[in-house]
Structure 1
Amino acid sequence: MHATFEHVIRLPITWLLATLAVYRLALTIQRRANFSPLLHPVAVSTALLVTVLILAEVDYDTYFSGARMIHLLLGPATVALAIPLFHQMKIIRRHWFRFCRGALLGSGISIALAMGLAALFGASRTTVLSISAKSVTMPIALELSEKLGGLASLTSALVMLTGVAGALMTQAVLARLRLSDPCTHGFTLGVVAHGIGTARAMQVSPRDGAFAGLGMGLAGLLTAVFLPLAFRLAGY
């Protein structure tokens, strides 16, 4: 029985099915909690999966051999956000400069603060580089991290934590400021909390989700272009 168990937990299909099952359970938990943002399905499913992996003594590479199939769908899923975004082209054409400026400032300040704090607390160069890419959506962040010399696994975890924390804090701040306009609300969620924020915005309304997708896409594009350039000019 022990040998059979060891064989099963090393199979990629095991962790693919486990990921899907745990996420489905997390969705049920959030629905029964009246969609509380504190029980975001990504945060809940991650906590459950990490617990299972620790108890089963399974390393990240073994887990990712199965989860890679889901990871490959991140790109097409991100591109599919262009469909609801197409219906908002009139507003985008009118305010395109404001959108670009907001995405550039939001991403730039986030990256600068994260890298500055990491360096201040004595983090290694590799860690600082991994942190630099954590403020964009997962597919772009992983590619950036590898090209800049960071650790993709660390960047992956940081992107997820940034998304969950950003979705929670952004909604609270926007509610406090009484900003409920779908354009402002969705775009801010997309820039600050990228994929997780966009998923949360989609739960609010398709219009919120469209502008969240715009914010996420612009932040990713501008970061991918200007972050390596900034490092090269700074000689980092």
Structure 2
Amino acid sequence: MEQIFSNPLYCLPLTIGIYLLSVKFYAWVRIRIFHPLAITIALLIIMLIVTKTDYEVYKQGSYLINFLLGPSVVALGYVLYEQSEHLKGRVLSILTTVFIGAFVGIISAAGIAYLMGADKAIAASMGPRSVTTPIAIVLSEQNGGIPALTAVVVVVAGILGGLIGPPIFKLLKIDSRIARGLALGASAHGVGTSVAIQLGAVEGALGGLAIGIMGIWTSLLLPVFQYIIKLL
């Protein structure tokens, strides 16, 4: 079985096939906890455990998916370009909003973890939870975190944000397309932006913008937070 998971010719179609089946299943049941990404991850984990395949073997076979994470985020720039008129007169408010989101994201994860007695490495791993996976892993490494743990936290945060975001908008009667897009992109990065795109073109564009700005603000704020932690 390791030959199947280590060979991109087999591993990539298998992974994509599982995801497409998960999308079909989600469209059928329409229950938010059965998000396609969550189902895909669960099924892949079960398959790796049952076949006794090391994750590094699977990572080798699916490297192209990991590589495309970066370009996929950049591709959102085209969607943003199409909706650029919505940025006029709102640049300062958008930057300020995402800055607050980055600050709250770090404090609500790394800060609480540290106050509850978590190891500094664990706290550092939690800090980048609100940014997209490629950026989060790099920030985790640079600030003494555990990249593997960070990746898990980021995925969980993305799925939860994507699941509970729309119901919260409805509950709080948040109708602003810009606010919804920024909120999903800033709190749930890639998964949130995929949900934002389903809500509308404006929401998707602002979600993609929020991913980039959140990465910048978090990369600036996280070292400051780590420096303060070292002084304590």
- TM-score by structure 1 length? 0.90
* Mapped contact 1:12–1:62 kept (Cα < 8 A): no
Select 1:116's aligned residue among 111, 116, 124.
Answer: 111
Select 1:219's aligned residue among 203, 214, 226.
Answer: 214
Select 2:17's aligned residue among 18, 21, 26.
Answer: 21
Equivalents in 2 of 1:123, 1:31: separation in Å? Answer: 39
Residue in 2 that maps onto 1:31: 27
Gaps of 5+ in 2: none
* Mapped contact 2:2–2:53 kept (Cα < 8 A): no
* 1:176-227 Cα distance to aligned partner (Å, 9 max, x none): 0111221111111111111000011112222210011111211111111222
Equivalents in 1 of 2:78, 2:94: separation in Å? Answer: 18
Residue in 2 that maps onto 1:133: 128
Select 2:169's aligned residue among 166, 174, 179.
Answer: 174
Instruction: Specify the SS of the correspondent of 2:97.
Output: helix
Equivalent position amino acid for 1:91 in 2: H
Equivalents in 1 of 2:152, 2:193: separation in Å? Answer: 18
Shift of 1:13: 4.3
Q: 1:85 to 1:93 in 2, by over 3 A?
A: same
Residue in 2 that maps onto 1:157: 152
Equivalent position amino acid for 2:100 in 1: L
Select 1:193's aligned residue among 173, 182, 188.
Answer: 188
Equivalents in 2 of 1:9, 1:185: separation in Å? Answer: 38
Shift of 1:60: 2.0
Equivalents in 2 of 1:115, 1:217: separation in Å? Answer: 21
Considering only aligned residues, what root-mean-square deviation do their CA atoms show, in Å? 1.8
Seq. identity, %: 32
Equivalent position amino acid for 1:37 in 2: R
Equivalents in 1 of 2:11, 2:213: separation in Å? Answer: 33
Equivalent position amino acid for 1:126 in 2: A
* Mapped contact 2:106–2:222 kept (Cα < 8 A): no
Correspondence list, 1:52-71, <5 A: 52-71=47-66
* Mapped contact 2:79–2:205 kept (Cα < 8 A): yes
Correspondence list, 1:2-13, <5 A: 5-13=1-9
Residue in 2 that maps onto 1:91: 86
Equivalent position amino acid for 1:15 in 2: C
Instruction: Specify the SS of the correspondent of 1:80.
Output: helix
Equivalent position amino acid for 2:46 in 1: T
* Mapped contact 2:6–2:61 kept (Cα < 8 A): no
Shift of 1:65: 1.1
Equivalents in 1 of 2:176, 2:2: separation in Å? Answer: 52
**Does 2:220 align with 1:208?**
no
Equivalent position amino acid for 1:85 in 2: L
Instruction: Specify the SS of the correspondent of 1:114.
Output: helix
Equivalents in 2 of 1:181, 1:120: separation in Å? Answer: 35
Gaps of 5+ in 1: none
* Mapped contact 1:30–1:40 kept (Cα < 8 A): yes
Aligned residues: 231
Q: 1:119 to 1:85 in 2, by over 3 A?
A: same
Equivalents in 1 of 2:37, 2:3: separation in Å? Answer: 28
